[in-house]
Each structure stands twice: as C-alpha cells, then as structure tokens.
C-alpha cells in the first residue's frame, strides 16, 4: 500500500475521533492526552538509549506523570518539591556508570513532552466549553496546516536546506510555506465553527508566527534525536505515522508557545476567557 495512502487512511478516522473527544470537556480528553504523553515519553527514552544516552525510564515517567496530573493534585507544588528532593538525593549517591547521563537526560525526557501536553489540556480548559474547544482546535488545525503546506511546498519548491545536519530534506521554502498553512488553519478554525471563536484573524496573527516557528522546532528536536539514534521513526505504533513522538513532535513546543500567548493576551485584555 502506498505510504501516503496509509497515512491518510489512518489519519482521517484518528483525527475525527480526536476532535470528537476534544469537544466533550471531561476527564476523557485529559486521560487520552495523559496516555499519549506517557507513550511519547516511553518512545523518547528508547530513542535516547539508542542515541547513547541511557535514561532511567521510571525516573522520567514519574516526573512526566506528576506534570500531567499537576492540575488535579492537591498541594501540587509541594508534591513536586518532595519528588525533586527524593530524585536529587537518589541520584547523588548513584555511582553507577552513566549515572550523570541518567540524571540530565532523565529530567529532559521527564519534562519535555509532558509540559507540551499539559499546555494542550490547559488551553482546552480555557473559558467556556465552546471557547476551550475553539482554542484547542485552532492549535491543532494550525499545526496540521503548517505540516501539510510545508511538506508539499518543500517537495515542489524546496531548494535551500533549512537544517541539513539535522534533517536534510527540510527546506527554507517548505518552512515558509508552513506559515501559509498556519494561516489557513487559523482561518478555518475561526470561520468554520458554528459559534464565535475567542480568537480573531487580527489577534491571531502572532500565533501564525509562534506556531509557524515552534512547530518546526519541535519537529527538528525529534529529528536531531532520531538522527543520533540512527532510526527513521520513534516506534511503529501508528500505521503510516511511526510513533506518538513522530505524530505530536510539533505540538509539544507549539502548545507551550500558544499557552503563554493566551495568558499574555488575557492579562492585557485582548482576549476574554
């Protein structure tokens, strides 16, 4: 089966299911995002190990689970401090070879993906059910639009490499087409919904640049790890798409950037949520 066809046949029903669950503001959506976050972490730990940086899986998963459950935990900050002190104490007296790598890579694998997925859940939780859905949909559609336009723009017009030492196939032209895709995704999310979105094309313009930049950065970070690990995909769990890290790599930093932007806009009264 053609690889592109396989991707489409999986992506369409999976996308519909994901958006359907996103619409119903409940623990179900958060539970699915938490599960995706943990699967992504598991793939990251495997990649880091293949890249020559052994990482303590349990160490990373506990940190990740704490971050993902942060909104639900009583005394969340204090709980984090206790975990931090325990891990630092354990790693201080760990004299095994590679202990230092376990400490540093363990924190990276524990924090990186969960922060992005936590921001997605927080974005979904903004305002009313309709507002939260519109904002989360905006993020997803801008990332999808950026990916699609960057792929076809780079394939048809790409000449200058963007980051040849990290991802040789990515081009400057594809990167620029990604901004067009982000714009299309933003427009669809605003004008295709049967209710008023809290984002307008005017106050959404900075999002085009934020997601257009940080989406590809997320892609390049994963490519950098995979290149070091000498693998094509993070796993084979998703037909035609590799693994969860492959599918959600752009969303991780992009959701953090959008969350910060929304907080800023809300604080200064440009968006009411």
Reported as a single tens digit per residue, the pLDDT across 108-118 is 999 999 999 99
**Residue 107 neighbours by CB distance under 10 Å:** 17
Question: What pLDDT is stored for residue 28 in this prediction?
Answer: 84
Cα–Cα distance for residue pair 149/142, rounded to 1 Å: 10
> In terms of residues, how long is the chain?
273
Exposure on the CB side of residue 254, measured as CA atoms within 13 A = 30
171-182, pLDDT tens digit by residue?
999 999 999 999
**Domain range summary for the chain, segments of one domain joined by +:** 3-267
Cα–Cα distance for residue pair 58/42, rounded to 1 Å: 10
Question: What pLDDT is stored for residue 122 in this prediction?
Answer: 95
Cα–Cα distance for residue pair 88/173, rounded to 1 Å: 45
Tens digits of pLDDT across the chain (273 residues): 555 556 666 667 767 777 778 887 667 889 999 999 999 999 999 999 898 888 888 889 999 999 999 988 989 999 999 988 888 788 777 777 666 777 788 889 999 999 999 999 999 999 888 899 999 999 999 999 999 999 999 888 988 988 888 888 899 999 999 999 999 999 999 998 888 889 999 999 999 999 999 999 999 999 999 999 988 888 887 766 688 999 999 999 999 999 999 999 888 877 766
Contact between 259 and 119 under an 8 Å Cβ cutoff? The reply is yes
Cα–Cα distance for residue pair 212/242, rounded to 1 Å: 23
The reported pTM is 0.90
């Amino acid at each position: 089966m053609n690889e592109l066809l396989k991707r489409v046949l999986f992506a369409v029903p999976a996308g519909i299911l994901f958006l359907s669950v996103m619409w119903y503001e409940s623990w179900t959506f958060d539970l699915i995002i938490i599960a995706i976050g943990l699967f992504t972490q598991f793939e990251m730990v495997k990649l880091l190990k293949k890249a020559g940086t052994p990482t303590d899986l349990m160490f990373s998963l506990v940190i990740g689970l704490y971050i993902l459950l942060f909104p639900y935990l009583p005394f969340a900050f204090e709980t984090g401090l206790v975990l931090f002190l325990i891990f630092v104490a354990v790693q201080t007296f760990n004299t095994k070879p590679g202990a230092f790598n376990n400490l540093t890579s363990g924190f990276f694998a524990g924090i990186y993906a969960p922060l992005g997925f936590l921001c997605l859940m927080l974005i979904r939780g903004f305002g009313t059910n309709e507002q939260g859905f519109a904002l989360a949909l905006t993020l997803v559609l801008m990332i999808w639009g950026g990916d699609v336009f960057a792929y076809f723009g780079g394939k048809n017009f790409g000449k200058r490499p963007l980051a040849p030492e990290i991802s040789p196939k990515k081009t400057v032209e594809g990167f620029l087409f990604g901004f067009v895709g982000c714009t299309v995704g933003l427009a669809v999310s605003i004008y295709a919904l049967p209710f008023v979105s809290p984002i307008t094309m005017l106050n959404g313009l900075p999002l085009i640049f934020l997601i257009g930049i940080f989406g590809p950065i997320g892609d390049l970070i994963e490519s950098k790890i995979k290149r070091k690990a000498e693998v094509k995909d993070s796993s084979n769990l998703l037909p035609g798409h590799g693994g969860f890290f492959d599918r959600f790599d752009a969303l991780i930093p992009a959701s953090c950037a959008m969350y910060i932007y929304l907080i800023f806009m809300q604080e200064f009264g440009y968006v009411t949520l």
